Amino acid sequence: MIFFFILLVFVLIAQMAEFFIPTLDWMYNAHVYIVPVIVFYGAMALPFPLMLALALFAGILLDVLTVQVIGGKVEISMGWSILLYAVLAGIMHGLRPLFIRGRWEVHCILSGICTSAIVLAQYLMITFRRGSIFFSNEVWWQIGGPGLIAMLMAPLIFWILHWIARVTRYPYLPEGRIE
Amino acid sequence: MSRTSIIALLIFGAILGYFLSFGSETTRKFQSTVYQWLAPLFTTGSGLQKQITSVRTQLKSLEELERENSELQVENRQLRATNQALRDVEREVNRLRHALQYKERSVFKLVPAEVIARDSSTWWHTITINRGKEDKIDTDMPVVTDEGLVGKTTTVSASIAVVLLTTDENCKVAATVEGTREQGITSGERVASGLTPMLDLNFLSKQANLQPGPKVYTSGVGGVFPSGLLIGAVKSFRVRELDGQAKLTPGVDMSHLEDVFVVTGRK
């Protein structure tokens, strides 16, 4: 349980940190997203109910801190990010046995893909509101860039969180035992 | 699926449904409350970021000095570092003096604010400032610098506020082109086509035939932005099927915003 609360704190810190991390000029101003990687790690490490709670917390934070209410209209309603996180975390959770067997690489790659999927879903939702859908090189970089960065960051973040899980004696990780 | 998981899923569904039922006003109020809770984190984060940037700049200048002067002695290095620190102070003083002069000569009532955070999302262009309802800031108030229009406030909590930049596609400003009778509406690009975000000035007449250079100002139509604020300068013009469209270079460099002013009324 301690580990779950640690993950919640990390999600909050990461969400705040994203405000202060500059965009990457060389990648068409792509943003660095850390929160999805933490949530997807939680999806593999936590049991189903706690995974949902983590997705709920991360989704609320994302919605509150990014969605803009302009002229009395909301482009992406509160709750959509929660749903997105829950669905994607659910997919990751399904691959939990693989992770417990020590196969990290699949989840690192999936973390990147799922991060891009969140940005793509946001793009499709705002495009639905604003009209005129287009997929230029810049759009693809804005969507794919954060995924690539997340994929590269994932091994390090997973390793740190894995280490914290061991330190806090989180019981999901008994060597060789698959729940 | 276990019984616990099913109960968790039901609770999750109920909470999700609750949030999905939020209207725009409820969303704004909820955002405002959460922003207020997180205000200390924003302030701390902003302070940390400034310290890190300052250390990085100093290290870089030391590296440059080392490269340029391989024979530089320790004492010399200290003197140069001191000099650099003084230059930083001087630049800060100049910047603040410049801002103060602008506040004094402006015809508007201005509330000075500091940028404490930038947008964390891909599709919205915003900044967060350290002024809120306690400073009589409200939603839809114009935000400017001495260089021109920056945007308008959206979510406002007690001590911080979110500003939607003119470079955002949703920030639409009624505008007029200097030296012509042309009027249009500016908006940002959904995705910047280059490294510097540009603005689109839409709904111009097809005969406008604008050349690069003329400045574009707010026309005052719409009620949010007062007239006469610089938005940007025309970079190019093209005729579309129904209207003319100009690309504008923003008057304000949004990537280096530090101090801004919120227009709360006229003097």
Its ipTM equals 0.83
3-state secondary structure chain A: CHHHHHHHHHHHHHHHHHHHCCCEHHHCCECCCCHHHHHHHHHHHCCHHHHHHHHHHHHHHHHHHHCCEECCEECCCCCHHHHHHHHHHHHHHHCHHHHHCCCCHHHHHHHHHHHHHHHHHHHHHHHHHHCCCCCCHHHHHHHHHHHHHHHHHHHHHHHHHHHHHHHCCCCCCCCCCCC
Q: Which helix (H) or strand (E) holds B185?
A: strand B183-188
Q: Which of B4, B154, B169 has its CB closest to that of A69?
A: B154
Correct CATH for B1-166+252-267 of 2.60.120.10, 2.60.120.460, 3.40.630.30, 2.40.10.340: 2.40.10.340
Which residue in B has a C-alpha nearest to residue A20's C-alpha? B117
Contact map slice: A 141-160 vs B, CB within 8 A: 142-143, 146
Determine how β-strand B173-177 pairs with β-strand B183-188: antiparallel
Distance, CA of A146 to CA of A143 (rounded, Å): 6
CATH class of this structure's domain A2-167: mainly alpha
Distances (CA, A) of A50 to A8, A41, A56, A168, B139: 10, 12, 10, 17, 37
Q: For position A67, what pLDDT does the model report?
A: 80
Domain boundaries, chain A: 2-167
- Residues of A in Cβ contact (< 8 Å) with B257: none
Task: With cut-offs at 50, 70 and 90, classify the pLDDT of residue B257.
Answer: confident
Q: Is A78 touching B (CB cutoff 8 A)?
A: yes
Q: For position A101, what pLDDT does the model report?
A: 78
Distance, CA of B117 to CA of A64 (rounded, Å): 15
Q: Which helix (H) or strand (E) holds B11?
A: helix B3-20
Q: Mean pLDDT for chain B?
A: 84
Q: Which of A25, A66, A126 has its CB closest to that of B195?
A: A25
Distances (CA, A) of B178 to A106, B105, B209: 58, 22, 13
pLDDT digit of tens for each residue in chain A (179 aa)? 788 999 999 999 999 999 888 888 888 888 899 999 999 999 988 889 999 999 999 999 999 888 878 777 888 888 899 999 999 999 988 888 887 777 778 888 999 999 999 999 999 998 888 888 888 888 898 899 999 999 999 999 999 998 998 888 887 654 444 44
Q: For position A173, what pLDDT does the model report?
A: 52
Residue B260 has pLDDT above 60, yes or no: yes
Q: For position B16, what pLDDT does the model report?
A: 92
Q: Which of A65, A68, A130 has its CB closest to that of B120?
A: A65
Distance, CA of A56 to CA of A112 (rounded, Å): 20
Q: Is A123 in Cβ contact with B124 (below 8 Å)?
A: no
Domain boundaries, chain B: 1-166+252-267, 173-251
- Residues of A in Cβ contact (< 8 Å) with B45: 16-17, 19-20
Query: Tens of pLDDT along B44-71?
Result: 888 888 778 777 666 666 667 667 776 7
Find the farthest-apart pair of alpha carbons in chain A and give their distance in angstroms, rounded.
56
Distance, CA of B78 to CA of B53 (rounded, Å): 20
Which residue in B has a C-alpha nearest to residue A126's C-alpha? B123
What tokens were used for B100? 């103060």
Q: Which of A19, A74, A86 has its CB closest to that of B12?
A: A86
Q: Is A69 touching B (CB cutoff 8 A)?
A: yes
Query: Tens of pLDDT along B110-129?
Result: 899 999 988 878 888 899 99
Distances (CA, A) of A68 to B124, B137, B165: 8, 17, 12
- Asked if B248 and B201 touch (Cβ cutoff 8 Å), the reply is yes
Residue B9 has pLDDT above 50, yes or no: yes
Nearest to A52 by CA among A3, A107, A111, A93: A93
Q: Is A77 touching B (CB cutoff 8 A)?
A: yes
Q: Is A72 in Cβ contact with B19 (below 8 Å)?
A: no
Query: Tens of pLDDT along B154-211?
Result: 989 989 999 999 999 889 999 999 888 899 999 998 887 666 788 999 999 988 888 8
Distance, CA of B154 to CA of A68 (rounded, Å): 7
Q: Choose between B101 and B226: higher pLDDT.
A: B226
Which residue in A has a C-alpha nearest to residue B171's C-alpha? A70
**CATH topology (fold) of B173-251:** Thrombin, subunit H (2.40.10)
Residue B239 has pLDDT above 60, yes or no: yes
CA–CA min distance B64, chain A (Å): 23
CA–CA min distance B181, chain A (Å): 28
Q: Is A77 in Cβ contact with B27 (below 8 Å)?
A: yes
Query: Tens of pLDDT along B76-114?
Result: 666 766 676 676 677 777 777 777 777 766 778 889 999
CB neighbourhood size of B26 (10 A): 14
